[in-house]
Chain A
Amino acid sequence: MFNEPHPDEVRVITKRFGLPNSASIDTYLAHEGYVAFMKAIEMTPEQIIDELKLSNLRGRGGAGFPTGLKWSFIPRDNPKPKYVVVNADESEPGTCKDRLLIQNDPHQLIEGCLIAARTIGCKAGYIYIRGEYRYLIDIMDKALAEAYAHGYLGKNIKGSGIDFDLYTHSGAGAYECGEESALLESLEGKRGVPRIRPPFPAVSGLYASPTVLNNVETFATVPAVLRMGGQAYADLGTPKNGGTRMLCVSGHVNRPGVYEVPLGFSMQKMIYEVCGGIRGGKKLKAVIPGGSSSPVLRADECDFPMDYDNYARMKTMAGSGGMMVMDEDTDIVKVALRTMRFYAHESCGWCIPCREGTTWLRKILTRMDEGTGRRADIDLIHELAKNMLGRTFCPLGDAAAMPTIGFVEKFREEFEARLRENVVPVTSPDQLIAIR
């Protein structure tokens, strides 16, 4: 299932993919497995955090928050138990990378969690895996059992005096649970409704205890950072954007797939060299660069070095790394509608601007698509979406609004063309009567 690697990739966290039995602990141990954890035992928590800060590793789940800084927020003197929580709820449309990390190299994730546990002094952790990924829960459970059997989990790990238990936890189908505070609610057995912050999970997370919560890819990167050293890892990327990340390319390219490239890799090169260009010799129309929440880019905007800061400069975001490439034949109104149908379905209903906004936008986009839209609808879509921004507890409202604003601003002519195409012809006298 995994695509062929490309020579331009820099494989740090995917380097074991493709090895025989890559998910087994034997393969892992034979390829620098658990070396970083053994190193971490000899380091103080401050030293580990300093290495992470030096590495410029930023969260790979969507927000891009610096990982070292996030870990440093855990109050060390808090008497409450502390927790490590892995967000493996991968459900941002366009994203399919965490799946590969667990499938091909589950021990790398376990080692990342162990290092986190060592850093913050915690004894238990949970890997929250979306319910649809049942086969990954089985793979992960098997890897956890191996880690226990080899003494990398449990009591007094490798004589270090560290105790740490790690468990899988199945979700049950809810995009909203990929948002950290909703994920914690869900992990506590409740509806996945977001919490108001502050306090942030670092202070009050799972069971109101200090919690380190990161994406799978972020945890999976931590062992490499300690092994290579923070500076060496940082040097793979661009200033303030350390290392490599996995990009999931889908849509109309010749070689869609998941590729690990350094931060700052050229988008043009990604599309035309790594992914072999647009299929059928067609022209590129647009790219949704970081999952369906990220505002679309027109073809003429798709040539920049892909790091967090440059995405922001392009008024979009790196997000979860899900790059959806669309050729010249793509119907943008349909894509906008499908995007909104998704958010309307996934809105948890807690905040009115999101619940009502997504529902009304879905209705308006549906009539645009069906050809019964009105001229005023184009501005209405834009206006409505703008009114949702920043007015909800969690980012789902923004995630629905931002791409919609992008579609209308960048492809307004397609919405207008849709109005022209769809003037319903009057063909029978009955219709005339009805209109009168």
Chain B
Amino acid sequence: MTFTPETEKRLQDIWSRYPAGRKRSAVIPMLMYAQDELGMVTQELIAEVAQRCEVSPLQVEEVVGYYSMLNKQKMGKHHVQVCTNIACLLMGGEELWQHTTKRLGIGHKQITADGLISLEEVECAGACSWAPCVVDGYEYHHHMTIEKLDQLLDSIQKKVQ
């Protein structure tokens, strides 16, 4: 498979971090960075990572099934994650989640028809003292309110137009 030069460099760098004979260690980080480029984990990617890390495709497959951040379905350009775990729940995370699903008309792990936004209700994102939090891709938004969330979604949707 060919990746952008930047991703390719990253994948090779990851691969080089583990001792000879232990390249299986590179499977998960490689999948994470390659997924960022592809928008999902494809069968082709599974075969590619398996070959580079000297393991069977099945060994990669079972890892993909285990970790919640590895997705075999296409994710939106913006993967919006709303935390509703206790610290966020106490501060209105549940209301944020309800608002988001209503506004976008999609549910947990679903994607908007235009492929722009996918949505996920996530477990504790590690922003408890600045709750509630919403994560857009890898970008954290703290002290979220319905107004701020609407602004975020507006700006995502405006960027496309």
17 pairs, A vs B, C-beta closer than 8 Å: A95-B124, A96-B127, A133-B126, A169-B17, A169-B29, A170-B29, A186-B28, A188-B25, A192-B66, A250-B87, A256-B129, A322-B87, A324-B128, A330-B90, A334-B89, A335-B89, A338-B86
Nearest chain A CB to B31's CB is how many angstroms away? 7
- Interface positions, chain B 15-38, Cβ under 8 Å from A, are 17, 19, 22, 24-29, 31-33
CA distance in complex: A257, B87 (Å): 12
Q: Is B63 an interface residue (CB 8 A)?
A: yes
Q: Is B100 an interface residue (CB 8 A)?
A: no
List of B residues within 8 angstroms of A348 by Cβ: 66
Question: Are A93 and B87 neighbours in the complex by a CB distance under 8 Å?
Answer: yes
List of A residues within 8 angstroms of B146 by Cβ: none
CA distance in complex: A91, B124 (Å): 6
Question: Are A172 and B84 neighbours in the complex by a CB distance under 8 Å?
Answer: no
Question: Are A172 and B67 neighbours in the complex by a CB distance under 8 Å?
Answer: yes
CA distance in complex: A124, B22 (Å): 13
List of B residues within 8 angstroms of A326 by Cβ: 90
Q: Is B113 an interface residue (CB 8 A)?
A: no
Question: Are A94 and B86 neighbours in the complex by a CB distance under 8 Å?
Answer: yes
Q: Is B55 an interface residue (CB 8 A)?
A: yes
Nearest B residue to A141 by beta-carbon distance? Answer: B13
Q: Is B62 an interface residue (CB 8 A)?
A: yes
CA distance in complex: A94, B131 (Å): 10
List of B residues within 8 angstroms of A131 by Cβ: 32, 67, 69
List of A residues within 8 angstroms of B55 by Cβ: 189
Give 4 nearest A-B pairs by CB, closest first: A173-B69, A172-B67, A189-B24, A173-B68
List of B residues within 8 angstroms of A334 by Cβ: 89
List of A residues within 8 angstroms of B33 by Cβ: 170
Nearest chain A CB to B104's CB is how many angstroms away? 21
CA distance in complex: A207, B33 (Å): 24
Q: Is B156 an interface residue (CB 8 A)?
A: no
Question: Are B131 and A250 neighbours in the complex by a CB distance under 8 Å?
Answer: yes
List of B residues within 8 angstroms of A92 by Cβ: 124
Q: Is B145 an interface residue (CB 8 A)?
A: no
Question: Are A132 and B86 neighbours in the complex by a CB distance under 8 Å?
Answer: no
Q: How large is the interface on B (under 10, 10 to 19, 20 to 34, 35 or more residues)?
A: 35 or more
List of B residues within 8 angstroms of A186 by Cβ: 28
- Interface positions, chain A 324-357, Cβ under 8 Å from B, are 324, 326, 330, 334-335, 338-339, 342, 345-346, 348
CA distance in complex: A374, B66 (Å): 35
CA distance in complex: A292, B86 (Å): 8
Q: For A171, give its contact among B19, B28, B123 (CB under 8 Å).
A: B28
Nearest chain B CB to A4's CB is how many angstroms away? 12
A1-B130, A3-B129, A189-B63 known; A132 vs B53 contact (CB < 8 Å)? no
Nearest chain B CB to A99's CB is how many angstroms away? 5
Q: Is B106 an interface residue (CB 8 A)?
A: no
Question: Are B129 and A132 neighbours in the complex by a CB distance under 8 Å?
Answer: no
Question: Are A338 and B89 neighbours in the complex by a CB distance under 8 Å?
Answer: yes
Q: Is B85 an interface residue (CB 8 A)?
A: yes
- Interface positions, chain B 25-58, Cβ under 8 Å from A, are 25-29, 31-33, 53, 55
Question: Are A95 and B128 neighbours in the complex by a CB distance under 8 Å?
Answer: yes
